[in-house]
Structures are given as C-alpha cells and as structure tokens.
Amino acid sequence: MNQATKGVPIVYTIRGCDACVKLLRKWEAEGIAFEERRVELSQAVLDEARKYGDMVPIVVWPDGRVEQGFEGNLGCFI
C-alpha cells in the first residue's frame, strides 16, 4: 500500500542511526501513524530513499513534502 492510499507519512530509517531512533520514539509516544522503511535491510529500499535525500531519517509526507534529519539531529548519510 502506498502513501497516497494510506495517507500516512513514510519514514526511511536506519535503526543504528540515533536521529532515526529519536524520531521513531517520539512519533510512537505521540501515537502518530507512519510507515517505516528500513534502508539498512534492503538495497532496493536504500535506492528508493536516495531518490528523496542523502541523509536519514527521511520523511515523505502524504502531500509530497520531503524532510531530512530530525529536530536538531542531522542523521546519517546513506
């Protein structure tokens, strides 16, 4: 199911990336619905993430906006 049909943000993450983990914890604590795509588990997902940016976390919002990093954390180069 893609983001348009689900209407939730997609977040590209690496679980070893501190900024990614902070984002996930915050969203989970706030009950924000999202779809996580872990780039460290699949070259195909990593290649998909690179279409949007160079640094995870990358959030693709349902309206098409793309954000990298999280709050004050730059994240990790992919």
Partner 1 sequence: MLQATTVVTTERFEKGLSYADFLAQATVNRDKFEKYYEDSALTTEDLSFFKKAAAVPDGPSKILALAEAWCGDVYRELPTVVRIAEATGVDLRIFLRDENPDIMDEFLSNDGKARAIPVFVFYTSETRYITHFTERSAGAHAELAAIMDQVRTDLNLPPGVTFATVAEARKQEFLRAVIARILPRFPEWRKQSIREMRTLLSAALKLPNKG
Contact positions vs partner 1 (CB under 8 A): 14-16, 18, 39-43, 46, 53-55, 66-69, 71-74, 76-78
Shortest distance in whole angstroms from residue 69 CB to partner 1: 5
Give whichever of 28 and 66 is closer to partner 1, judged by the CB atom.
66
For 3-67, the DSSP string reads HHHH-S-EEEE-TT-HHHHHHHHHHHHHT---EEEEGGG-HHHHHHHHTT-SEE-EEE-TTS-EE
Identify which of residues 5 and 71 has a Cβ nearer to partner 1 in the complex.
Answer: 71
